Chain A
């Protein structure tokens, strides 16, 4: 492995950690809201969250690139405030990853939340527990599996993403080049041995992660079934 590979691994891990942390913060209230929502617009909202599952990553990456770039809504606003636009930068990568992995965090949590019996929450409410108190004292402990699955899947999914990162990040070594794009570079330059080292690493990592999720899944019964299913049926990132 050359120094650029180590950089790629470092950036990949950093990206996955930051994205997962952000995803959990965003997905927790969003999943709770969706699990409690009784509106005829609920399917539409759920479809929006699930969109990254079916959309080619390049499409998502392209629109994000446009929005985050100097001419885009977000990028342009930032520039007018004297800041940098986000295309081809690490923060841009994080935003892309968060959007791309959103369903992997939201769905397991939403499934878990909707399986918490309502009478437990009612009972807690009559025992003077306020809504936030109920969330942390009843829901979180009862949906631990959902949180672990959401975290692990988000992390793993961010590690493996390719299309979005390539579009937004631009594959700049030492800055926005991650393992998956580094592998692509190796193959382009016919360095199959280098590509193999990194690929094997990702492969082993993914097997371990999925084994972990499925063993947790067994413990939690049907709690997490849906989300794992959707992971395996999802078109995997690649140059689509």
Chain B
């Protein structure tokens, strides 16, 4: 685990390019993986490049102030009208959409390029080139040239290379954009684990909802050059904007009850209820906490627990409020699942038709049973 990592970023960015205005002012705590989510062309890359120190020109056409807080709580200036700290002094790693490997260097030499430039007292042995190559599953490829690797492998080298520079913050600009399904899934798992192992905070730019939901601890919603909302992902998903922009994704914290690889089923507990669902990840240990995802449209509501149904998961919850959904015939039901197993009470949303709402005479305060198909759940 690294002790050197940035804690927080304070930012004011105003930039005008043609008709596009980028205007952001915020303070971002850096913990775990923060996803920067928004449609293409909303200013995500601009923000990332500004953080990396690759956006020096902004000063002529707008304003940029950027401050960073280190692990001791000390603030320092990265950019304001008087100061500009260049990229090479920021200790911020950047993984691009393209792997951007140095074509004239072997895979190992690419990693060493980053490693040898880290001052000796800042090196973290765990992030030494050989260890990292092993960690990303490319030990045997050290002597190859980047052009001899597949796209997915190249992107793993790029990730390892960035880590080898022992950064205090890592920025990832849609690193999965050019990868296919299998390579993508592998990369996501790898990234998640590496973040947990190293403790280096990451900011992950994406316009793919599934990546964001699987990866991030915190979520920043962006639209048309401005920050809409940011905070812990489960909470942001339950806000008006979060529900609308993330298509009703819910994240629930649960405790692993049983992991039965033989049947391929995972049992987790939410409140007093046990949920079963198919899960390929066999590494989840009994008693540990895990995150599960379910979309609001995959939750149906019943007034009583059903017994004869193919839907095997039924969780009691309380109706809190109703609000509009994307379609006028639908309604978003905001629900709360009670606390249990060291997990506080959790909010989530279900999307049902207004007709069903009327038929069940649903009202705020009512207790309902959320029925979730096992195949709609995932970690």
Interface positions of B from 85 to 120, Cβ below 8 Å from A? 86-94, 96, 98, 100, 102-104, 113-114, 117-118
A125 touches B54 (CB 8 A): yes
Q: How far is the CB of A220 from chain B (nearest CB, A)?
A: 13
A126 touches B113 (CB 8 A): no
Cα–Cα distance between A125 and B167 once the two chains are bound (Å)? 12
Q: How far is the CB of B109 from chain A (nearest CB, A)?
A: 10
Answer yes or no: A188 CB below 8 A from chain B CBs: no
- A interface, over-half SS: helix
Answer yes or no: A4 CB below 8 A from chain B CBs: no
Query: Which of A126, A133, A138 has a CB less than 8 Å from the CB of B92?
Result: A126
Cα–Cα distance between A141 and B113 once the two chains are bound (Å)? 14
Residues from chain A with a CB closer than 8 A to the CB of B87 are 122, 125-126
- B interface, over-half SS: loop
Residues from chain B with a CB closer than 8 A to the CB of A128 are 88-89, 91, 114, 117-118, 165
Residues from chain B with a CB closer than 8 A to the CB of A129 are 88, 113, 117
B103 touches A126 (CB 8 A): no
A125 touches B100 (CB 8 A): no
A127 touches B54 (CB 8 A): no
Residues from chain B with a CB closer than 8 A to the CB of A130 are 88
Cα–Cα distance between A222 and B93 once the two chains are bound (Å)? 32
Cα–Cα distance between A128 and B103 once the two chains are bound (Å)? 19
Answer yes or no: A124 CB below 8 A from chain B CBs: yes
B52 touches A122 (CB 8 A): yes
Cα–Cα distance between A119 and B96 once the two chains are bound (Å)? 8
Question: What is the 8 Å Cβ interface bit string for chain B, positions 178-221, against chain A (1 contact, 0 not)?
Answer: 00000000000000000000000000000000000000000000
Given A119-B98, A137-B113, A126 contacting B93 (CB threshold 8 A): yes
Residues from chain B with a CB closer than 8 A to the CB of A124 are 102, 113
B165 touches A117 (CB 8 A): no
Interface positions of A from 133 to 183, Cβ below 8 Å from B? 133, 137-138, 141-142
Top 3 closest pairs, chain A to chain B, by CB = A125-B87, A128-B117, A119-B100
- Besides A127-B113, A127-B162, 10 new A-B residue pairs in contact (Cβ under 8 A), listed by A number: A120-B100, A122-B52, A122-B54, A124-B102, A125-B87, A125-B88, A126-B90, A126-B94, A126-B165, A127-B93
Query: Which residues of A are in contact with B by a Cβ distance under 8 Å?
Result: 117, 119-120, 122-130, 133, 137-138, 141-142
